Amino acid sequence: MLEKVEGFNMEKVIEEFEEVTKDAGRVQIETLRKILEDNSEAEYLQNLGLNGRTDPQSFKNCVPLVTHKELEPYINRMIDGDLSSILTSKPITTMSLSSGTTQGKPKFVPWNDELFETTVQIYKTSFAFRNKEFPITSGKALSFIYSSKQFKTKGGLAAGTATTNVFRNSRYTVAMQALKSQCCSPEEVIFGPDFHQSLYCHLLCGLIFCDEVQFVSSTFAHSIVHSFRTFEQVWEDLVADIRDGVLSERVTVPSLRNAMSKILKSDPNLANIIQTKIMGLSNWYGLIQELFPNAKYVYGIMTGSMEPYLKKLRHYAGDLPLLTSDYGSSEGWIATNVNPTLPPESALYTVLPQIGYFEFIPQNKGDSDFIDVEPEPVGLTQVKVGQEYEIVITTPAGLYRYRLGDVVKVMGFYNSSPQLKFVRRSSLLLTINIDKNTEKDLQLAVEEASKFLAEEKLEVVDYTSYVDVSKDPGHYVIVWEISGEASEEVLSECCNCLDKSFVDAGYTSSRKVNCIGALELRVVRHGTFQKILEHYIGLGSAVSQFKTPRCVGSNNAKVLQILNENVVNKYISSAFNN
C-beta contacts of 513-518 below 8 A and 24+ residues apart: 514/473, 514/576, 515/432, 515/433, 515/473, 516/432, 516/433, 516/435, 516/473, 516/474, 516/475, 516/476, 517/471, 517/473, 517/474, 517/475, 518/475, 518/572, 518/573, 518/574, 518/575, 518/576, 518/577
Residue closer to ligand AMP (CB basis): 75 or 213: 75
Question: Shortest distance, CB of residue 301 to ligand AMP, whole angstroms?
Answer: 4
Q: Exposed/middle/buried for 293, CB within 10 Å: 0-12, 13-18, 19+?
A: exposed
AA identity, residue 50: L
Minimum CB distance to ligand AMP smaller for 523 or for 551 = 551
Nearest to 157 by CA among 225, 98, 108: 108
CB-wise, 85 or 426, nearer to ligand AMP?
426
- Min separation Cβ 326 and ligand AMP, Å: 6
> Is the CB of 111 or the CB of 529 nearer to ligand AMP?
111
Q: Least distance from C-beta 54 to ligand AMP, angstroms?
A: 27
Smallest distance, ligand AMP to C-beta of residue 96, A: 7
- For the sheet with 322-324, list strands across it: 140-143, 213-220, 297-301, 322-324
How far apart are CB 102 and ligand AMP at their closest, in Å? 8
129, 121 Cβ separation under 8 angstroms: no
Q: Which is closer to ligand AMP, CB of 88 or CB of 98?
A: 98
Q: How far is the CB of 517 from ligand AMP (least distance, A)?
A: 30
Helices 195-208 + 221-244 axis angle, to 10: 70
> For residues 435 and 439, what is the distance between their CA atoms, to the nearest angstrom?
13
Please report, for residues 118, 161, 353, the alpha-carbon distance to residue 330 in angstroms, rounded to integers and kept in the order given: 12, 8, 18
In the complex, least distance from residue 7 CB atom to ligand AMP, rounded to whole angstroms: 28
- Would you report the helix, strand and coil content of the chain in percent, each value rounded to 5? 40, 20, 40
User: At its nearest, how many Å lie between ligand AMP and the CB of residue 126?
Assistant: 11
Between 59 and 327, name the residue whose CB sits nearer to ligand AMP: 327
Residues in the chain: 578
Identify which of residues 342 and 575 has a Cβ nearer to ligand AMP in the complex. Answer: 342
Helices (H) and strands (E) in the chain, counts: 22, 20
Instruction: Check: CB of residue 215 under 8 Å from CB of residue 235.
Output: no
Nearer to ligand AMP, 330 or 510 (CB): 330
Considering the complex, what minimum distance in angstroms separates the CB of residue 419 from ligand AMP?
13
For the bound state, the minimum distance from the C-beta of residue 406 to ligand AMP, rounded and expressed in Å, comes to: 5
* Cβ atoms within 10 Å of 453's Cβ, excluding its own: 20
125-158 per-residue burial string, b: 16 or more CB within 10 A, e: under 16 = bbbbbbbeebebeebbbbbbbbbbbbeebeeebb
In a 3-state reduction of DSSP, which class is residue 393?
strand
Cβ closer to ligand AMP: 111 or 463?
A: 111
In angstroms, give the least distance from the CB of 247 to ligand AMP: 32
Task: Give Cβ neighbours of residue 114 (< 8 Å, ≥ 6 apart).
Answer: 395, 396, 397
Residue nearest to ligand AMP (CB): 304
Q: Which residues bind ligand AMP (CB under 6 A)?
A: 98-99, 162, 301, 303-304, 327-330, 404, 406, 422, 425, 545
Q: Which is nearer to ligand AMP, 126 or 528 (CB)?
A: 126
For ligand AMP, the closer of residues 247 and 347 by Cβ is 347
Say which residues have a Cβ less than 8 Å from residue 364's Cβ, sequence separation at least 6: none
